[in-house]
Amino acid sequence: MKGKLYLIPTPLGDTEPFAVLPANIGEVINSLDHYFAENEKSARHFLKKAGIKKPLQEIKLYPLNEHTEESEIINYLQLLLKGTDAGIISEAGCPAVADPGADLIRMAHENKIKVFPLVGPSSVVLALMASGMNGQNFAFHGYLSRDKNQRTKELKNLESESKRKNQTQIFIETPYRSSQIVDAVLETCESNTYFCIAADLTLKTEFIKTATVADLKKQKPDINKRPAVFLIHKF
């Protein structure tokens, strides 16, 4: 028998796990001894807060992030092929959605290993839900370029594509550059383009605002160093 691969969601910030996760997550984590984790420290912190009953020193954690080589992922696959159940834990949110994990999941499918996605918060989906923008036709672009000129070109292209396809354009940035993205959109996009800023999702400090670029220029939100998802739509 081959092992099963569970995709285990985590809270988007420092909140109680079961304020945003279903109770069956606790059952799953207490059935596993092996985890592929984006960040070992935060994974252990999550498992402890989620009420894992086994001593943490008995849990095996394997790094799975943007630095993990394909050869290591192939080795991880062997664990599942030999019959061991395991879980993927991202640093925040849902594994493989704006987070690492997709390569191992693809290999699992190729080797007929059952994959079980568990319900949890996705910042991308929550932001889209709350934006008021088109939820039936949207595209997620991950991170935009750090180069200012290239980023301007990308935003112009996204804005044009949004109008042409009636498509919501979604992107993210690291918290310490959140303010730069807000400035870039307000400087680059046309005044009647809609812009949604969704920061600190599911947290007590949650902030979600959708307005035209013209209106947001009048009172620019301060989301400096806060995790955020950004959406634009040109109607």
Tens digit of each residue's pLDDT (9 = 90 or more) over 107-166: 999 999 999 999 999 999 999 999 999 999 999 999 999 999 999 999 999 999 999 999
Tens digit of each residue's pLDDT (9 = 90 or more) over 23-69: 999 999 999 999 999 999 999 999 999 999 999 999 999 999 999 99
Radius of gyration of the chain (CA): 19
Smallest Cα–Cα separation from 170: which of 109, 180, 181, 179? 181
User: What is residue 100's three-state secondary structure?
Assistant: coil
The residue ranges of every structural domain in the chain are: 5-117, 123-233
> How buried is 45 (Cβ within 10 angstroms: 0-12 exposed, 13-18 middle, 19+ buried)?
middle
CB atoms within 10 A of CB 133: 24
- CA-to-CA separations, 192 to 158, 185, 233, 235, in angstroms, rounded: 14, 12, 9, 8
User: What is residue 206's three-state secondary structure?
Assistant: coil
What pLDDT is attached to residue 69?
A: 95
Tens digit of each residue's pLDDT (9 = 90 or more) over 163-216: 999 999 999 999 999 999 999 999 999 999 999 999 999 999 999 999 999 999
How does DSSP classify residue 203?
Answer: S
Tokens, residue 149: 């000129």
The architecture CATH gives domain 5-117: 3-Layer(aba) Sandwich (3.40)
pTM for the model stands at 0.94
Q: Which residues 6+ apart lie within 8 Å of 86 measured at CB?
A: 3, 4, 5, 6, 32, 34, 35, 36, 76, 79, 80
> How buried is 64 (Cβ within 10 angstroms: 0-12 exposed, 13-18 middle, 19+ buried)?
buried
Judging by DSSP bridges, how do beta strands 168-173 and 228-233 pair with one another? antiparallel
Q: Whole-number mean pLDDT of the chain? A: 96
The architecture CATH gives domain 123-233: 2-Layer Sandwich (3.30)
